[in-house]
Structure 1
């Protein structure tokens, strides 16, 4: 009985229809019925695959095939079906050309059309949503670009909200995203190289750069890393990010992602390269530095005085996010003499009756805060923010009244959490949340010495980190004085004469000198 069952399994495997490797090089036949049968066998059990034969003089002469939902059937009816079925063929067709030439040059003249003769390429074009046309007696197929799948309209990205600036964002359509870039850079120097990644998904990927700004070394490195990817399917740009980053075990992001086309264009003008992936609104930008993660989009749309002040506050909150819980634990546990007497008395009174050490208190409240933040993200928007805010208030107040944690610890953890929301890039903020826990443990074990040790190790890691060969801490380490104008503060745009050297590799003038605004004498005499 076992042998019989095994024999049945073998028979089922033999009956299963798969796409053979020789199909990729097999040529089409001039017989329409044979081509139809081959396509039906290849797309067996594919309910969305549609074949529409068109009869001329009572015999099938034309074969249309496409995938429902990916092809614009309304345009198909207007361009092909209505003229062929109701108007018929023109007189003297054989004298002026073949039926295939008539369809290509007259009926499909308004759409991009190409001719292919290999069966494998024909199948690939159908899977992309294009329309295939086969004509009796011709061993070639016409491929018309009639892609018409449902897609989301262009909207403001919710993950990167800006007070001032453009309100459009990328969508899941690659061609829509490339059009948003073309809208901003109307030059032939904006290049968009295309390739496909994924054995099954065949996901379209576009490499965007500005010719003459992006160095050949960077472009070759991007092409090499992308061509090395071997995977069955690409569902999002994060799949590609994990394959091409320099240090996969580092918590810090080495590739910038964004939904905003204006951010992509701003980075392309600095000599960087963008990677756009179909079916996702998130584009990748390489290389990335540590300082890119602390720069918001409105930093370049507001006046430089406001931006410099806000950026200074952002760096201050960044230090609070990294070190405030650790410094609190170190001072209370090992160095109470460094705390002012009045403040020390208040902290001691708040900790009266708390059964846990300060380090356990801080770790416990940090974990609770992270849990509430994660719950607020995963819950529906209508209740997510309410649950996270109310949960933090209720849990914190209840924990203080029960004597489990002190009120000072709750204030420290809450302040740290609020400060972490000021980080513009979510992935950099997540990295800081991860680093905060080792810093807490070091502070609980060695006090301020542990914080210093952790800070030194962190700086060494960041200085040695690379993003596509570019130092992660550039232009601070190694120091490039000309590029420091856009790190801690933002200098006026008219004073930034040259682009960043670390990506351009040379001094490229972007703004000629002599454009500083000056007061004009005027008025009535």
Structure 2
């Protein structure tokens, strides 16, 4: 009870207006941060006025702090009769000395603390009932690198970083339009993570922007570490499998989606930007489609859709045909399959399930392999284990071909989130095919279509433009229409 009372008392004191005594304000901050080694404060003299300069050395680089703030504040003012004992005098002094720096005024300890944690330096002056917060920055971050997961042969080789300001700059460089808007939010009771909502005012639907704004405002969680946490909270979909937000590490993809009227959510500390609304067809588009000839882009998109179908249904069709519908297989092929299956100690269903799980394990192991080893270990493991299993007579060659073709087709889908969904649904269809044959596969297809039809992404039907049918939207969904000069007749 005593601890709870102290916490409530501290919270109430943090929201009370600041006093004009700079020492009292500094004492409140020192009590709040305790003995933290990165909290630094020092007295400062500006003319005849006394005050304190506070900063977190881990959030504001010391050299930058001296160059941007300390030198302008003390240059020519220590020996003068200058006074900054009121808010008006402090504001006039800021305009003269710090006019180009981003600033804000904090009216209570809570606001001052939030600005301090965001990398600002605090200027606390005697006689002033507000604290001047100046953006310093200067902490080094990861440089802009080439995309690691969404690569293209031709096109930009820049990717988002963990810095929110850098990511906003990458988008702003591609959309030099004053109507490009960025709205700031904060989420996480403990982490106070900064989030930015981006949209193009002349392209985005106001109802969609309001929906994004509402969901971001209503987030109530203790911690946000990555954009994946935000995606899980604001999606609010009825699907356990299909993603309703597109995650991208490419600035050109985010920029093109913003121009088309979508919204982007940028989370500080995450190199992936969330884009929505995202429908089924968006997960088969790649940034490389817009850097090649339209005919080639259409061919690649059709190939991705065909690969998805094979990845989903090939194992289920194989086992259903072997178990229940062998008359559908040509006689010579059936003899070949049955001859290979006779030497295996396991049934076709068990062998298919085991080999599928084994390939999934190898794929998961590939994501854990150190970058020094690359992808050689999982590839070599798949070849060695597959060849050894066939030579030992545990599985047949045709079954290994089916599993390998299935896994290969699953890799063609450009977005990892959607390909992971395909991997999960594949096991369900495999079970239905083993139990009910082709009829079970049709039941699975019906359930899948019903679920997709009922699914929405921020109010937009998931199967748009197929259901509801919008023929004009097909120009950039399955097909990729060629670019045209808008001034041309």
TM-score bracket relative to the smaller structure: over 0.9
Corresponding residue number in structure 2 for 1:43: 33
SS in 2 for 1:50: strand
CA separation in 2, counterparts of 1:246 and 1:100? 47
CA separation in 1, counterparts of 2:377 and 2:218? 45
How many pairs align? 488
Match of 1:76 among 53, 65, 76: 65
Matched, 1:465 2:455: yes
Matched, 1:396 2:396: no
SS in 2 for 1:415: helix
Matched, 1:348 2:332: no
Post-superposition offset of 1:69 = 1.7
Matched, 1:62 2:51: yes
Relative to structure 1, is the Cα distance of residues 474 and 85 closer, same or farther in structure 2, using a 3 angstrom cutoff?
closer
Q: Is there any run of 5+ residues in structure 2 with no aligned partner, and where?
A: none
Corresponding residue number in structure 2 for 1:415: 405
Match of 1:287 among 261, 267, 277: 277
Match of 1:377 among 352, 360, 367: 367
Corresponding residue number in structure 2 for 1:33: 23
Corresponding residue number in structure 1 for 2:486: 512
8 Å contact kept, 2:46–2:84: no
8 Å contact kept, 1:375–1:388: yes
Post-superposition offset of 1:104 = 1.6
8 Å contact kept, 1:129–1:146: yes
- 1:72-221 aligned within 5 A: 72-82=61-71, 87-89=76-78, 91-94=80-83, 100-101=90-91, 103-221=93-211
What is the CA deviation profile of residues 435-480 of structure 1, one whole-angstrom value per residue up to 9, with x for unaligned ones? 0001111111111111111112111111121111111111111111
CA separation in 1, counterparts of 2:267 and 2:158? 18
8 Å contact kept, 1:69–1:150: no
TM-score of the two chains, using structure 2 as the length reference? 0.94
Relative to structure 1, is the Cα distance of residues 458 and 223 closer, same or farther in structure 2, using a 3 angstrom cutoff?
same
What is the CA deviation profile of residues 136-175 of structure 1, one whole-angstrom value per residue up to 9, with x for unaligned ones? 3333221111122221111112011111111111111111
Post-superposition offset of 1:103 = 4.7
SS in 2 for 1:179: helix
SS in 1 for 2:124: strand
Greater Cα shift, 126-135 or 106-115: 106-115
CA separation in 2, counterparts of 1:87 and 1:163? 57
Corresponding residue number in structure 2 for 1:228: 218
- 1:303-322 aligned within 5 A: 303-322=293-312
What is the CA deviation profile of residues 112-142 of structure 1, one whole-angstrom value per residue up to 9, with x for unaligned ones? 2333332221111111110001123333221
CA separation in 2, counterparts of 1:356 and 1:94? 89
Match of 1:269 among 255, 259, 272: 259
What is the CA deviation profile of residues 338-359 of structure 1, one whole-angstrom value per residue up to 9, with x for unaligned ones? 1112211221221122122211
The Cα RMSD (Å) is: 2.4
8 Å contact kept, 1:52–1:63: yes
Q: Is there any run of 5+ residues in structure 1 with no aligned partner, and where?
A: 1-9, 495-510, 516-525
CA separation in 1, counterparts of 2:241 and 2:470? 26
8 Å contact kept, 1:354–1:404: yes
CA separation in 1, counterparts of 2:222 and 2:236? 22
CA separation in 1, counterparts of 2:280 and 2:198? 22
Matched, 1:484 2:474: yes
Relative to structure 1, is the Cα distance of residues 228 and 92 closer, same or farther in structure 2, using a 3 angstrom cutoff?
closer
Relative to structure 1, is the Cα distance of residues 384 and 19 closer, same or farther in structure 2, using a 3 angstrom cutoff?
farther
Greater Cα shift, 318-327 or 94-103: 94-103
CA separation in 2, counterparts of 1:321 and 1:374? 17
Greater Cα shift, 26-35 or 294-303: 26-35
CA separation in 1, counterparts of 2:344 and 2:216? 55
Post-superposition offset of 1:19 = 7.6
Post-superposition offset of 1:431 = 0.4
SS in 2 for 1:450: helix
Relative to structure 1, is the Cα distance of residues 152 and 397 closer, same or farther in structure 2, using a 3 angstrom cutoff?
same
Post-superposition offset of 1:83 = 5.4
Relative to structure 1, is the Cα distance of residues 353 and 85 closer, same or farther in structure 2, using a 3 angstrom cutoff?
same
Corresponding residue number in structure 1 for 2:321: 331
Greater Cα shift, 183-192 or 375-384: 375-384
8 Å contact kept, 1:246–1:254: no
Match of 1:446 among 416, 436, 445: 436
Relative to structure 1, is the Cα distance of residues 60 and 488 closer, same or farther in structure 2, using a 3 angstrom cutoff?
closer
Relative to structure 1, is the Cα distance of residues 66 and 348 closer, same or farther in structure 2, using a 3 angstrom cutoff?
same
Structure with the greater alpha carbon radius of gyration: 1
What is the CA deviation profile of residues 54-103 of structure 1, one whole-angstrom value per residue up to 9, with x for unaligned ones? 3579x992311010121132132124434566755353424999873575
Relative to structure 1, is the Cα distance of residues 328 and 80 closer, same or farther in structure 2, using a 3 angstrom cutoff?
closer
TM-score of the two chains, using structure 1 as the length reference? 0.87
Greater Cα shift, 114-123 or 320-329: 114-123
8 Å contact kept, 1:246–1:466: no
CA separation in 2, counterparts of 1:445 and 1:267? 43
Matched, 1:240 2:214: no
8 Å contact kept, 2:84–2:125: no
